Amino acid sequence: MGSMSSGKDGKQGADFKGPWERIRKAAGLPEDFRFHGPRYNYASTLVSIGVDLGSVRELLTHNHAGTTERSAHFAPAGGWGRP
């Protein structure tokens, strides 16, 4: 398992880099594969087909609207509201 370390806020956090590398290699994923890549792809796909950003935020359990807004450029029109 990964080692425990202090995060930016001083709270204990886990370092998953070592375990992630083993999982990535065992799965045959490329070195540049990002852990959150599929999650971002899911969000951008939802936005591109017209799902409003508020719903995407709920589905992805984002605490901050700004996190979801990173996918906003895929929105056809309407953004936060329904098209």
Query: What is the pLDDT tens value at each position of the chain, 83 positions in all?
Result: 444 444 556 665 667 778 888 999 999 999 888 877 888 888 888 988 888 888 999 998 988 888 888 777 777 655 445 44
Inter-residue contact 74 to 47 (CB < 8 Å): yes
Q: In the numeric block, which tokens belong to residue 79?
A: 């953004």
pTM higher than 0.85, yes or no? no
- Token look-up 């935020």 returns 57
> Could you count the other beta carbons within 10 Å of the beta carbon of residue 47?
23
Domain boundaries, the chain: 1-35, 36-83
- For residue 71, the model assigns a pLDDT of 74
Tokens of 69: 């807004």
pLDDT of 12 reads: 58
| pLDDT value of residue 59 | 92
- One-letter amino acid for residue 46 of the chain: L
Q: Are 52 and 82 in contact (CB under 8 A)?
A: yes
Output the pLDDT for position 2: 44
